[in-house]
Amino acid sequence: MANKNLRLVNVEKPNLYRQTFSYTEFPRLIFDNREVEYDIPEEIWITDTTFRDGQQSRPPFRPEQILKIYDLLHEIDGGTGLIRQCEFFLYSERDREAVELCKERGYKFPEVTGWIRAVAADFKLVSQMGLSETGILTSASDYHIFLKLRKTRAQAMNAYLDIVKAALDSSVIPRCHLEDITRADYEGFVLPFAAELMKLSKKYDKPIKIRLCDTLGFGLPWARVSLPRSIPKLIYGLRQIGVPSERLEWHGHNDLHKVQVNAATAWLYGCSAANAAIFGCGERTGNPPLEALVVEHAQLKGMTEGVNYAAITELAEYVRKESGFEIPHNYPLVGKDFNVTRAGIHADGLLKNEEIYNCFDTQKLLNRPVGVAITDKTGAAGIKHWIETRYQIEIPKHDRRITKIKDRIDAEYAADRVSMISDEEMFEWVRQSFEDNLPPLR
């Protein structure tokens, strides 16, 4: 992979990697058994694509909703630079209004950046909005170059380099989005293109960033998998030709259920930035969940002073109530039931010590107390826990009033009930059993 060998291979026919991507079968996992070592950057961070890729998966947010979400991202970041940037579409009046509203906040983090296609007309929008950095769509695979753009590799690369030069000439940092890199000819296109970008960076004495886009979620986290699917090898090759870690960014999708581990893997092998969207929104199957990467970062680098982890809960509550954002009840970290147990034996363990069945102190870190949902499997321990957490009292598990409530629950399910007992029902049954002899709700 020496620089002198990095010449564009301008093939006549596209390389579609049919041995791996037959299309009529699931993609094949091919090992070459060549190892790549960890290369964890000293500093790693998150960039956000909620207002770009995230809005390709749902009805668009209104500008005032974008501003509130942006404020909450800033609140989570706490001035640390953990959530370093947000990217925005620039095409519609609504897009540009949202950009202006967020820019007016004057926050250092997250920085407002743009996203454009590799055409001169789009670049004018970046200049008009006064942005210092923009993403540029630079499709990397022959699927896109030959079948979508109808160009040769040389034609595509030259067009990309022209728009990058235009950005540099205008003192805008270009961030090249290598779309579909996990199906791209790595040595025939990706590395030669990256080498040309580094030459331009040196010539202009300005940074050029490279985003590795796993457009269809084909990326794999294992070092011994062959290219182009191995994330460790994709990053390793770019690092070997001199691309600094701080100029590398990973952008994934969840088509094959690896979006989160792939983003963390990118960090482990030398990529400083991981792109994400709130609660995993994003085109088709979604992007890495931003809140999950905040927690992943804490596991890799330790808790960061200044980061407001509890604001993740506030963000979830806002988008659920104000934008109709559907978060599954069992969704990790923010789902309504993510730390709620329905099993009686688990509830009994929670009463003895909540560490037994709670993965961390959700009350302290996320402002989410552990909970118990009431079903026919809950048992007296679960009823006891439900009452104690809401009224801040202690009751023996075999108290006759708990037994009375349990008998009523058992009768419901004996009569073929299939739904869980609602909180409203529980409040009424507790009131009746305790004859209003309870302290106010907490």
- Parallel/antiparallel/unpaired status of strands 273-276 and 83-88: unpaired
Q: Please, which pLDDT band fits residue 248 given cuts at 50, 70 and 90?
A: very high
The three-state secondary structure class of 66 is: helix
Q: To 10 degrees, the CA torsion angle through 352, 357, 360, 362?
A: -80
Domain parsing of the chain, residue ranges: 3-322, 340-434
CA neighbor of 89 nearest in space, from 139, 45, 126:
126
Q: Are strands 273-276 and 340-341 parallel, antiparallel or unpaired?
A: unpaired
CB-count exposure of residue 359 (10 Å: 0-12, 13-18, 19+): exposed
Average pLDDT over residues 305-315: 97
pLDDT of 342 above 70: no
**Using an 8 Å Cβ cutoff, are 383 and 405 in contact?**
yes
pLDDT bucket at 348, cuts 50 / 70 / 90: low
Query: Quick one: average pLDDT of 1-27?
Result: 88
pLDDT band for position 17 (cuts 50, 70, 90):
very high
Cα(305)–Cα(241) distance, integer angstroms: 35
CATH class of segment(s) 3-322:
alpha beta
Token pair, residue 65, equals: 């909703």
Share of the chain above pLDDT 70, in %: 94
Per-residue pLDDT of 365-399, as tens digits, reads 888 777 667 788 778 888 888 888 788 888 888 89
For the record, the structure tokens of 219 come out as 């990326």
Indicate the pLDDT class of residue 13, thresholds 50, 70 and 90.
very high
Token couple for 387? 């009452």
pTM over 0.85: yes
How would residue 442 be classed by pLDDT, with cut points 50, 70 and 90? low
As a whole number of angstroms, the distance between CA 76 and CA 73 comes to: 5
DSSP string, 230-283: BHHHHHHHHHHTT--GGGEEEE---TTS-HHHHHHHHHHTT--EEEEBGGG--S
Q: How many CB atoms lie within 10 A of CB 321?
A: 9
| Percent of the chain whose pLDDT exceeds 90 | 72
- Give the Cα separation of 261 and 279 in Å (integer): 15
Pair 347, 372: CB distance under 8 Å: yes
List b or e across 236-255, with b for residues whose CB sees 16 or more CB atoms inside 10 angstroms: bbbbeeebbbbbbbbbbbbb
Asked if pLDDT for residue 47 goes beyond 90, the answer is yes
